[in-house]
Amino acid sequence: MIKKIIGGMFIVFEGGEGSGKTTQAKMLGEWLTAREHDVLLTKQPGGDESVCKQIRSLVLDPQYFGKIFPRTEFLLFMADKAQHLDSVVRPALAEGKIVISDRYIASTFAYQAVARTSCTREEFDYVSRYAVQGLQPHLTIWLDVDPALGMQRNRGVPSQQLRFEKETLEFHQRVREGYEEYLTKHTDPTRVLRVDANQSVEQNHTAIVAGIKHLLSST
């Protein structure tokens, strides 16, 4: 049984490129809002309109491909988390809102600690503990997609031509391995909903709604 830790509820979407996180987060937000829940939809990096927005422009801008050192990138993502939680997430939870975030801590582990090898597991644990100050999602929705399919979905979409979409298939396969490690070995299994994101948008939404209904009924 998942119980509320703070005033509201924190739901996170995780998954590789082309998994449909942004689409599914929006659809879930609309579904919850239609049922009179107070919802805040946000994202990482870039979850506020000031500091986080500037960090996002640095870490995702294609002009910096190959120029930002891995250790710098890792610390920028962690700085974004600290700022985002204090400026957006925690205040919304204190107001009793359901906060839905497109990405959180598992993404940083998968991309930086595993795929990029920017840090050791011990360094990741130390910095992430300081950045998030113990705030864990009530539910992580893991959209698990075949990296080749995900890259195919994003190919030719101008809005997706960011730095991480320019990485190789092998890089994105390592990202998937990172998600597998973090969400199966370092996360409470009762707080993870794994969805086969190789399916259609509608099938994924149906699976997610079923998981959310269980979550809401148990709180």
Does some domain include residue 32?
A: yes
How far apart are the C-alpha atoms of 125 and 114, rounded to whole Å?
Answer: 13
Q: Which of 166, 123, 139, 129 is nearest to 17 (CA)?
A: 166
Is the pTM value of this prediction over 0.85? Answer: yes
One pLDDT digit (tens) per residue for the chain, 219 residues: 333 333 599 999 999 999 999 999 999 999 999 998 999 999 999 988 899 999 998 888 878 777 889 899 999 999 999 999 999 999 999 999 999 999 999 999 999 999 999 999 999 999 999 999 999 999 999 999 999 998 888 776 555 545 556 678 999 999 999 999 999 999 999 999 999 999 999 999 999 999 998 877 776
The predicted-structure confidence for 158-171, as pLDDT tens digits, reads as follows 555 455 566 789 99
The total domain count for the chain is 1
Q: Is 22 a member of any domain?
A: yes
Q: Is residue 3 part of a domain?
A: no
Res 203: pLDDT: 96
Residue-level pLDDT at 62: 79
Residue 212 lies in a domain: yes
Q: What is the CATH classification number for the domain harbouring 192?
A: 3.40.50.300
4 domain-assigned? no
Token couple for 4: 């509320």
Task: Specify if 103 maps to a domain.
Answer: yes
Distance, in Å, from the CA atom of 93 to the CA atom of 95, rounded to the nearest integer, reads 5
Assess if residue 39 is contained within a domain.
yes
Domain interval for residue 78? 9-217
- Which segments of 110-200 does DSSP mark as H helices, in order? 121-132, 147-154, 169-185
Instruction: Give the pLDDT confidence of 46-96 residue by residue, as tens digits.
Output: 988 899 999 998 888 878 777 889 899 999 999 999 999 999 999 999 999
User: Is 160 within a domain?
Assistant: yes
